[in-house]
Structure formats: structure tokens, C-alpha cells
Amino acid sequence: MYMIIDDRNIVSGGYATGLDREGVSSTGIEPAEFREWIDKTNDTDMHAVEAFLIGECGEREILSRLIRERSSAPVLCLNERHSLDDTLGLFAAGVDDVVRKPVHVREILARVAAINRRIHGEKGHVALGALRVHFDGRDPEIDGEPFPLPRRERRILEFLLQSRGRRVTKAQIFNAVYGLFDENVDENVIESHISKLRKKLKRRLGFDPIDSKRFLGYCIEK
């Protein structure tokens, strides 16, 4: 899930709509609400946020430092005007990138992927036998051929591979796919998505790579 911090709902809503079209869950939040949220939220919910986008708002350096105290997720600031002093201050506060608006959401996703590769040494994709999964909005591939998936199933597969070797709960998957604040969708929908995904993977790979244990969650082994 991407968290968009901005005083203006029209701005955060615009980026949230664009991210949703790319299959990435997101939520917009005002700075004051964000400060209250980050002060009270638990580590599990913090881990569900894959990137923070900070728009034009006051106290951006303070917000960046608050994030850095709790999370290693990429932090991008979106600038509407250029100011060298502001940019240098943001980098000093722990921001990973400062991007001049307007910027397409696909560029934001690419920048976040590049930051993660630098931090984690990833190649931009994860391979599991004949299966190759990208993290830039493209469909997975099996034996070099596209393996089209609905965006929710693709997002679940990406999250499981990002968590490879670690068991994740249904709630964690739900937060990654639908976001922390979506009250209009029942958490149990995850079971349906995973059931469909497992059948497709078994049909194409000849085996089901997803291990599930009742009450413990799901895992793709290393």
C-alpha cells in the first residue's frame, strides 16, 4: 500500500486513482491525521506501507523524520516548485527522492522499484523456477511467456514473493492489496483471490508453490 500525504484531497485522490489503475492500493491522508496515525499505529500496519508520497504541505521535513524512525520504506516528496534549500533539507531529513510535478504514477512506481533495488540488491524481478514476477506493473511470465493475472491476484503473488520464506497472515495480505483503511471490502475476499491464483499457478507450473496453514497464513518457500 502507498500512503499519500497532502493537505489537498483532490491531489491525494488523483494519485490514489492512478495507483489503483496500476493495481496498487493506496490511501490519502492529511498531515495532521498522519502524525496522529504514525504515533499510534503498530509495526504490522507500518510494514503494510510500501512507500510514502509527501505532497506540498507544511512540516515535510518533520514528517519525513517521523517516517524514518518507524519505517525503511521509500519516501518520495512531490515538488510543485523548485527550491534548492527545500530539496537539500528534505534529503537531510531522510527522503529517498524529490520529484518535480507533474509526474505519472508509473514513474513513481519505477522510482520506488529503483530505490528498493538499491536498498535490497534486488534485480527488479523474482524468479521461482519457470515463474518470473516483476514489480513494475507488468504481468508475470512463465517460461518467458506472459502469465496474465487480474490485478488483485498479481498483487498477492508479488506480496508473497516479496515476503518469501516468511509466513504472512490473511490480514497482512489484505492490507497490502486493499490498504489499511478500506472498510467496504471484507477481509475474507483474500481467500477467494488466493484460491483462484493457486489453481492458475498449478495449471501452468504443474505444482502449487503457495503453502497455507490454518490460523498461521500463507508462505512461498525460499
Sheet with 131-134, side-by-side order of all strands: 125-128, 131-134, 141-142, 145-146
104 & 206 share domain: no
Q: How many CA atoms lie within 13 A of 143 on its CB side?
A: 4
147 & 103 share domain: no
110 & 16 share domain: yes
- Model confidence over 38-68: pLDDT tens digits? 998 888 788 778 899 999 887 899 999 999 9
102 & 135 share domain: no
60 & 155 share domain: no
Ranges 1-10, 37-46, 111-120, most confident? 1-10
Strands (E), the chain: 2-5, 26-29, 51-54, 75-79, 97-100, 125-128, 131-134, 141-142, 145-146, 210-213, 217-220
Strand 75-79 relative to strand 51-54: parallel, antiparallel, unpaired?
Answer: parallel
Give the predicted TM-score (pTM) of the model: 0.72
94 & 6 share domain: yes
The parent domain of residue 149 ranges over 125-220
**154: its cell numbers:** 498479481
Interatomic CA distance for residues 4 and 161, integer angstroms: 25
pLDDT class of 24 with cuts at 50, 70, 90 = confident
12 & 106 share domain: yes
Per the structure, the count of domains in the chain is 2
91 & 171 share domain: no
CATH number at 17 reads 3.40.50.2300
Residue 87 has pLDDT above 60, yes or no: yes
pLDDT of amino acid 202: 94
DSSP bridge partners of 75: 52
